[in-house]
Structure 1
Amino acid sequence: MVSCYSSHGMVRQSWDLFSSMRRSGFPGDGFTFSALLGARASSSCSDHAKLLLLLGISVHGLVIRLGLHLDVVVATALLDMYAKCGRVAEASRVFDAMVLRNTISWNAIIVCYGQHGGGKEAFELFVCMMRDGCCPDELTLSSLLSSCADMAAANEATQLHAYIVKIGFQDFLQVGNALIMAYGRNGFVQEATQMFGMIPNPDLVTWSSMVSSFAYLGLAKSAVHLFDRMLQQGIQPDGVAFLGVLSACSHAGLIEDGFKYILLMMRDYKMDPTPQHLSCLVDLLGRSGRIKDAYDFVVNMPFEADVDVIGAFLGACRMRGNIESAKWAASKLFSLKPNDPVNYLLISNTYAAAGAWSELAKVRSVMRNMCGNKVPGCSWIEIGGIVQTFVSNDMILHQSREMQKMMDLVSLVERYCNDDDIICNDPSLV
């Protein structure tokens, strides 16, 4: 019964039944605790996230007291519970303490790191998994490909693809979908398109992945055409598919198509648009210069606009230099998330673009008081299979001095190249 409640998402009922079971003199076994921890992991309600984590921690303590933490199934369930709650450090400690590991436990920790920005660590774990003699499955490979998409690791994506073909996993639909996203996010549109064409029976995820890849690469017409093809094939779209095509319309300024799809979503498929869908429409109007229409759309929404929608409107105001509307949007953002540095950066960039330096100084002062030191935005480049990250004026990299010397040399050569007399008379450049 505990497992039945848990598998149907009835968390409270499963926990109450377990408490009654304990009071009746039955301590529970590995199957019982695996079911309970599965219930903790399967629930995604944000309102109860802290409570669910506390319940999971209490189960963890009871598991240790009963010595069941040595059971690979129970330990994997513990790991998965912490991973789904976003507690990567705790999940890693559970994994490190495991005496026995199987493919499922390796997958759980790899997925954990991949979903929380630890793509590099996920690949290091994959290497350890192979050395441990444990064979990966389609979940392992698709998770690693998702990490390739998130951190723009093109070299790793191509190597994984070669390994997938070698072990004969290219026919798994889940792997094919992940390959489309990995190639698309790395800018390899031809490879992504080829992968899409190689899948004999594409499902909704396949179509959505290709539409999103086209939108991500700025190929709006291709995204719209493929979305229409999907509808003609009788595939019923979901919110993710609509978000992909709306994003494409937004980037290309396709106003008629954007509103056509949002009406199609609401009228024909009876789906309520999320703030992400509506923010695409606001961005679409703003990019087209229709700030007044974007403002009317925001204030007349059936529910209060959230951070995504207001942020999209503020971005449109910055693009068009509309200071007054930007101030209104900034005040809304500050009331919704007063400690988020991104909101202050948006309005400060708007002031900077308009040359309003006094207003910019005021916002930066408030930002320092409210947010402290912000985490700087970074860029990255993959060299020799290693992703290097850096920020503006970064001197942390051990190659920084060599890079600066090379830049000085390039600047010197450029100055010489602009003066023909100096080039002819300077033997050092021969």
Structure 2
Amino acid sequence: MNFINHKLKVLAFVALGSGVFLSCAQSKNAIASKSAKETSQAGKVVPTNLKWSERMMLSEMQRFPEAWMLDFSKSPKWTYPSAIVLDGAEKLYAKTGKKEYYDYISGFGKELIKEDGTILTYDLDKYNIDMLNSGNVLLYLYEKEKKDKYLKALQTLRLQIEGQPRTNEGSFWHKKIYPYQVWLDGLYMGMPFYTHYTKDFVKGAEAQKAYDDIILQFDSVQKNLLDKKTGLLYHAWDESKEQAWANKETGLSPNFWGRAMGWYGMAMVDVLDYLPENHPGRARLISYIKSYADAIIKVQDKKSGLWYQVLDKPLANGNYEEATASAMFVYTMIKSVNKGYLPKSYKTAAKKGYDGIIKNLITVDENGVVNLNKCCAVAGLGGKPYRDGSYEYYVNEQIRSNDGKGTGPFILASLEFEK
């Protein structure tokens, strides 16, 4: 009997020992695999195991440690591209809760808005519609922090809308120095801010009047800038037909610039975030998105999935697949699919464009920092030196990497695909 008991005890001990050995081995394996993972990320400023949205956002924060630097600014100035990247930071903060994203946005407000509500470098009298876009950052910060200085700055920007000069039909001029000119860019620069501000601060009949005015901006653009043959929209329209770039009969600029169309698409999908569900103009705006998406899919490169700097002339000398427009088109389409503005079938074109960006336009440095290449730095019309809107003008503007007008929409598009 004693012998049997002893044998049972020995077996139990061996079993227990092998269990201990097994669990030790397992925990050693877990530690080893964790340390291998950490080693693979060692020396990486931006971890490569994150989603593209975060990888690009962290890369931007690495390149531009302060948010006011986002447009390659050497000193703090009130400009529009920062706001697009910071829109991505807001959504990433909401998704991940990582405070570094919030601090980055908050730093922009701290630096650009003085305690009395004055906006650094901003001049109301210029009536430049570009200057409204960064108001979106202040709407966010005021909602979060309720600081009086943000409210005052917001009221100043809203004052600009009151005084912004208009065409006879009621379309906003792009800037006071560009009389009678409506640019597609201006719809993105002004309308999401105008709609969001109205939703947050305006009530009753005044709100209704503002929403009607916002829809009028899109109706007017569809009427005056749309090319019925292709469904594309021209970069700009001069009501006075006096500009050298303007067609003497139609007042239209001569080319379909990729980013101008990109701005317009983003304007529509972002305005719908704040336009009341029951507003009669809502269905019209969604119908504009549908015809817009059909038109851009027709000029999407079949092989790469990307779009060209001048949309309808892919084979012309000097034209190139351009990053900012491609990112904007992808964002507009995938967000429209996710929101139900476009049928799910449009996701195919959006995904082809998104994959094309990653394959052809993204490079990753050894330290994990992500770059977006082949961004058109800037393009406009008129001014000094005079920009004539010719094909040659658009393809010869500066090309650079990591322009916020491309990285911002890429982050936003990535977030839509990651949903």
Query: What TM-score, normalized by structure 1, do the two folds share?
Result: 0.31
Higher helix share: 1
| Structure having greater relative contact order (Cα 8 Å, sep ≥ 6) | 2
Query: What TM-score, normalized by structure 2, do the two folds share?
Result: 0.31
